[in-house]
């Protein structure tokens, strides 16, 4: 977990889905480091939340109110704001959230919104949960890159831990392997129901592997493995 906290410090923003906020109530800061950065230098929390289900009392917002974290941004869908004074929007804005409405919460729209305006996010860490990771792994960009699934991702960090985080703990459920189209090489994956074929995913190579305590950690980078010097 300390490695995750270090990784958080080298990004401008940390993105999670509303499922993670509801299930885990995370803080997304770097408090486990011996010298954590000041709150203003910590990454900005970003929440994907179509219907504004984020609890107004979640830690990300209370930390911001107490000067312990950056202002969270909630990306939601247009038309779910409502004018009603009892609408969740009212409580979320009162709690300090910055709300940004998008036509749809697809990854092209998400990354475009985060890269512009006052946010100017250049380095985004997508921490979870299961559904968010799955849509990111299976998305391709409309405008940039090679248009392959996984092509929006620069690096993947995968930790295998001897500790289970199952339904009795956090409720994590990983995507089925055959639904993940990021691949190590050229072999193809089984098409999903209703699809004739799956586009070949972006290519990744293992750039680093290390042990952190009992956790085995792999870092994968997009592209071909550089030739040995
Ligand atoms: N091991 C790890 O490193 C981590 C594990 N986790 C685990 O993951 C679990 C939560 O996973 P899960 O329940 O899948 O929830 P997620 O955190 O993945 O949130 C998913 C929800 O986000 C909303 N959403 C909006 N836009 C998108 C988009 N483009 N792609 C995907 N989702 C979008 C959707 O809700 P709506 O339609 O309402 O907008 C969706 O149901 C937690 O219990 C936690 O323990 C979480 C973080 C890290
Ligand atoms: N055990 C563990 N190791 C990692 O590397 C992780 N990224 C996580 N996941 C998530 O961390 C969130 C809680 O952390 P904070 O309290 O915000 O520091 C939570 O969402 C976990 O699912 N877990």
Within this chain, do residues 114 and 7 fall inside the same structural domain, yes or no?
yes
Within this chain, do residues 156 and 198 fall inside the same structural domain, yes or no?
yes
Q: How many distinct structural domains can be found in the chain?
A: 2
Ligand nearest to the CA of 32: 2
Q: Which domain holds residue 149?
A: 130-229
pLDDT of residue 203: 80
pLDDT of residue 167: 55
Pairing of strands 155-160, 204-212: unpaired
Q: What is the CATH number of the domain that holds 16?
A: 3.40.430.10
Ligand 2 pocket, residue 26 CB under 6 Å: yes
Ligand 2: residue whose CA is nearest its atom 8: 1
Is the previous residue joined to 117 through a cis bond, with omega within 30 degrees of 0?
no
Ligand 2 pocket, residue 128 CB under 6 Å: yes
Q: Which of 71, 101, 128 is the last residue of a domain?
A: 128
Within this chain, do residues 191 and 84 fall inside the same structural domain, yes or no?
no
Within this chain, do residues 6 and 87 fall inside the same structural domain, yes or no?
yes
Within this chain, do residues 141 and 123 fall inside the same structural domain, yes or no?
no
Name the percent of the chain lying above pLDDT 90: 52
Within this chain, do residues 85 and 24 fall inside the same structural domain, yes or no?
yes
Compute the distance from residue 48 Cα to the ligand 1 centre, in Å: 8
Within this chain, do residues 20 and 116 fall inside the same structural domain, yes or no?
yes
Question: Got the DSSP string for the chain?
Answer: -HHHHHHHHTSSEEEEEHHHHHHH----S-TTSSSPPPGGGSPEEEEE-TT--S-TTSHHHHHHHTTSSPPPEEEEETT---S-TTSHHHHHHHTTPEEEEESS--HHHHHHHHHSTTT---SEEEEE-HHHHHHHHT---SSSTT--TTTT-SEEEEEE-SS---TTTT---PPPGGG---BSSS---PPPTT-S-PPPPPBEEEEEEEEETTEEEEEEEESPPPPP-
Within this chain, do residues 119 and 186 fall inside the same structural domain, yes or no?
no
pLDDT of residue 178: 45
Within this chain, do residues 123 and 142 fall inside the same structural domain, yes or no?
no
Closest ligand 2 atom number to CA of residue 4: 5
Compute the distance from residue 110 Cα to the ligand 2 centre, in Å: 22
At a CB cut-off of 8 Å and minimum separation 6, what does 57 contact? 95
Tell me the C-alpha distance between 4 and 76, whole Å. 26
Q: Residue 131 corresponds to which tokens in the numbers above?
A: 């559904």
- Mean pLDDT along residues 45-68: 96
Within this chain, do residues 201 and 100 fall inside the same structural domain, yes or no?
no
pLDDT, tens only, 158-196:
988 887 665 554 544 554 444 444 443 444 444 455 555
Q: Which of 95, 128, 161 is the last residue of a domain?
A: 128
Within this chain, do residues 226 and 166 fall inside the same structural domain, yes or no?
yes
pLDDT of residue 147: 74
Ligand 2 pocket, residue 1 CB under 6 Å: yes
Closest ligand 1 atom number to CA of residue 133: 18
pTM of the complete model: 0.88
Compute the distance from residue 1 Cα to the ligand 2 centre, in Å: 7
Ligand nearest to the CA of 172: 1
Within this chain, do residues 114 and 200 fall inside the same structural domain, yes or no?
no
Compute the distance from residue 35 Cα to the ligand 2 centre, in Å: 19
Burial of residue 208 (CB within 10 Å: 0-12, 13-18, 19+) is exposed
Tell me the C-alpha distance between 99 and 78, whole Å. 11
pLDDT, tens only, 37-51:
898 899 999 999 999
Q: Which of 93, 128, 163 is the last residue of a domain?
A: 128
């Amino acid at each position: 977990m300390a490695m995750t906290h270090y990784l958080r410090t080298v990004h401008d923003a940390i993105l999670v889905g509303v499922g993670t906020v509801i299930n885990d109530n995370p803080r997304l800061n770097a408090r486990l480091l011996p010298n954590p950065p000041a709150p203003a230098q910590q990454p900005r929390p970003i929440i994907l939340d179509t219907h504004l289900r984020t609890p107004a009392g979640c830690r990300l917002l209370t930390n911001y109110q107490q000067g312990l974290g950056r202002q969270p941004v909630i990306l939601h869908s247009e038309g779910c704001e409502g004018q009603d004074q009892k609408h969740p929007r009212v409580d979320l804005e009162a709690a300090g959230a910055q709300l940004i409405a998008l036509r749809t919460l697809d990854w092209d729209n998400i990354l475009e919104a985060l890269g512009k305006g006052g946010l100017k996010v250049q380095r985004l860490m997508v921490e979870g949960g299961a559904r968010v990771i799955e849509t990111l792994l299976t998305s391709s960009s409309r405008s940039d890159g090679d248009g392959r699934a996984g092509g929006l991702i620069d690096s993947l960090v995968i930790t295998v831990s001897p500790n289970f985080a199952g339904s009795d703990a956090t409720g994590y459920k990983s995507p089925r392997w055959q639904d993940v189209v990021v691949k190590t090489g050229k072999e193809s994956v089984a098409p999903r129901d209703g699809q004739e074929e799956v586009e070949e995913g972006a290519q990744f190579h293992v750039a680093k592997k290390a042990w952190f305590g009992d956790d085995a950690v792999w870092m994968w980078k997009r592209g071909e493995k550089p030739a040995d010097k």
